[in-house]
């Protein structure tokens, strides 16, 4: 079968290979993959700075954002042939730490979890893939067309759910949020915040006539081109979501955090980068009871919330979700999908 594989830690190693077709074991499902989306993590794996192949293998089939159809099941599988599904990414650590035991693999406390397409398990950028059926999320027909966005949406759901959970440390009624970055994750986080009734400003480096800016406006948000406009707003932002992966961008947002506010960090930042104003930010953090936290991955509940929100978003903002998919490629077009350019939002591969 056709598959897109990388060879970590080799640089720019992604290529189309002919891989053996997997078979479902006990509790597993065999998926005929329809569509796979690529993100910064796939890009980093291709660049050789992230990711690991399954033990004893050299190649890692990449791709962790997928939608597929169940075509065969092993004994005791929890799905049926014909189901359209999206797989979650992370699988529990062998030690079954307390979090993994509760299905909260996104908060695994050993770090020995595996991730499809990223860490120790093959991914879904292939004609066929196998995974444990208990981690498959059924996709209702009305959101099938945008289901490839469910995995990145689940990351946004997880981040925002955790933000609200953490803020139960005090009385807190957020009214304004700032999202740094208008890539898929930034835009999806902005959408989830809009559904919670929060005023959203999204800041990025694209022009006001770009697609990204237009999507921000479509959801009733304010777009800030940071090259031309200030981030500042009266009273500051109650929530800041950092989704640029730029240390400088992250630091530039901190002075605009409101008293009692919270910053959720979602990027991966260049190693060893030094930034000047940290002292000021830390003092403000203390004197204004602010909080900064990082969040990675997502669990089944976040995917389920994502399905619910996809429906709500489709109803409220017609056609908006599909506008995030800016290009579709064949498996042979994997290179363009991995390097789609700065105006692109989400590139996907149809298998």
Instruction: By CB under 5 A, name the binding residues for Zn ion.
Output: 93, 97, 100, 108, 110
**Would you say 88 and 59 are in contact if contact means Cβ atoms under 8 Å apart?**
no
For residue 349, the minimal CB distance to ligand BGC (Å) is 16
For residue 151, the minimal CB distance to ligand BGC (Å) is 6
Answer yes or no whether residue 137 interacts with ligand BGC by CB under 6 A: no
Exposure string of 157-196, with b = 16+ CB inside 10 Å and e = fewer, is bbbbbbbeeebeeeeeebebbbbbbbbbbbbbbbbbbbee
Q: Based on CB atoms, which residue is closest to Zn ion, 93 or 180?
A: 93
**Would you say 160 and 189 are in contact if contact means Cβ atoms under 8 Å apart?**
yes
**Would you say 42 and 63 are in contact if contact means Cβ atoms under 8 Å apart?**
yes
Exposure string of 140-150, with b = 16+ CB inside 10 Å and e = fewer, is eeebebbbbbb
For residue 227, the minimal CB distance to Zn ion (Å) is 42
Q: Based on CB atoms, which residue is closest to Zn ion, 108 or 281?
A: 108
Answer yes or no whether residue 265 interacts with ligand BGC by CB under 6 A: no
Mark residues 33-72: x for contact with ligand BGC by CB under 6 A, - for none: ------x-x----------------------x--------
For residue 271, the minimal CB distance to Zn ion (Å) is 25
Answer yes or no whether residue 115 interacts with ligand BGC by CB under 6 A: yes
199-204, strands of its sheet edge to edge:
222-225, 199-204, 176-180, 237-242, 257-265, 291-294
> Which partner from the list ligand BGC, Zn ion, none does 180 bind, CB cut-off 5 to 8 Å by kind?
none
Among 118, 149, 263, 347, binds ligand BGC (CB under 6 A): 118
Q: Based on CB atoms, which residue is closest to ligand BGC, 41 or 290?
A: 41
DSSP class per residue in 225-286: ETTTS----TT-EEEEEE-S--HHHHHHHGGGEEEEEEEEE-----TT---TTHHHHHHHHH
For residue 93, the minimal CB distance to ligand BGC (Å) is 13
Answer yes or no whether residue 155 interacts with ligand BGC by CB under 6 A: yes
Among 224, 297, 302, 306, binds ligand BGC (CB under 6 A): 297
Answer yes or no whether residue 301 interacts with ligand BGC by CB under 6 A: no
Q: Based on CB atoms, which residue is closest to ligand BGC, 42 or 83?
A: 42
Mark residues 80-109: x for contact with ligand BGC by CB under 6 A, - for none: ---------xx-------------------
Cis peptide before 9 (omega within 30 of 0): yes
For residue 135, the minimal CB distance to Zn ion (Å) is 14
Answer yes or no whether residue 296 interacts with ligand BGC by CB under 6 A: yes
> Which partner from the list Zn ion, ligand BGC, none does 115 bind, CB cut-off 5 to 8 Å by kind?
ligand BGC
> Which partner from the list Zn ion, ligand BGC, none does 93 bind, CB cut-off 5 to 8 Å by kind?
Zn ion
| One-letter-per-residue 3-state SS of 2-44 | EEEEECCCCCCCCEEEECCCCCCCCCEEEEEEEEEECCHHHHH
What are the residues whose beta carbons fall under 8 Å from the beta carbon of 156, sequence distance 6 or more? 185, 188, 189, 191, 192
For residue 97, the minimal CB distance to ligand BGC (Å) is 16
Q: How many CB atoms lie within 10 A of CB 23?
A: 11
- Quick check: helix, strand or coil at residue 126? strand
**Would you say 326 and 344 are in contact if contact means Cβ atoms under 8 Å apart?**
yes
Backbone angles phi, psi at 147, to 5 degrees: -60, -25
Answer yes or no whether residue 254 interacts with ligand BGC by CB under 6 A: no
For residue 155, the minimal CB distance to ligand BGC (Å) is 5
In the complex, the residues that contact ligand BGC under the rule CB under 6 A are: 39, 41, 64, 89-90, 115, 118, 151, 155, 296-297
């Amino acid at each position: 079968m056709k598959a897109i594989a990388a060879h970590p830690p080799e640089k720019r190693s992604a290529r189309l290979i002919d891989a053996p077709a997997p078979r479902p074991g006990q509790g597993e499902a065999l998926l005929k993959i329809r569509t796979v989306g690529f993100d910064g993590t796939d890009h980093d794996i291709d660049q050789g700075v992230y990711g690991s192949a399954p033990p004893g293998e050299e190649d890692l089939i990449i791709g962790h954002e997928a939608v597929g159809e169940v075509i065969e099941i092993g004994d005791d599988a929890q799905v049926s042939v014909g189901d359209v599904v999206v797989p979650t990414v992370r699988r529990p650590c062998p030690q079954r730490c307390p979090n993994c035991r509760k299905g909260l693999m996104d908060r695994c406390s050993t770090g020995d979890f595996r991730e499809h397409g990223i860490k120790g398990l093959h991914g879904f950028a292939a004609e066929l893939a196998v995974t444990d059926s208990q981690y498959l999320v059924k996709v209702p027909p009305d959101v099938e067309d945008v289901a490839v966005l469910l995995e990145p949406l689940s990351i946004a759901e997880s981040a925002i759910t955790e933000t609200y959970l953490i803020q139960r440390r005090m009385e807190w009624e957020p009214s304004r949020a700032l999202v740094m970055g208008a890539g898929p994750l930034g835009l999806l986080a902005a959408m989830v915040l809009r559904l919670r009734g929060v005023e959203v400003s999204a800041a990025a480096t694209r022009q006001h006539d770009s697609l990204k800016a237009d999507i921000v406006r479509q959801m009733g948000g304010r777009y800030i081109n940071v090259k031309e406009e200030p981030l500042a707003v009266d009273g500051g932002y109650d929530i800041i979501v950092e989704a640029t992966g730029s240390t400088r961008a992250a630091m530039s947002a901190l002075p605009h955090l409101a008293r009692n506010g919270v910053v959720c960090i979602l990027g991966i930042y260049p190693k060893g980068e030094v930034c000047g104003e940290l002292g000021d930010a830390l003092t403000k953090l203390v004197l204004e009871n602010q909080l900064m936290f990082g969040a990675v991955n997502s669990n089944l509940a976040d995917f389920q919330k994502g399905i619910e929100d996809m429906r709500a978003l489709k109803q409220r903002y017609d056609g908006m979700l599909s506008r995030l998919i800016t290009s579709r490629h064949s498996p042979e077009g994997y290179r363009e999908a991995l390097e789609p350019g700065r105006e692109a939002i989400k590139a996907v591969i149809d298998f």
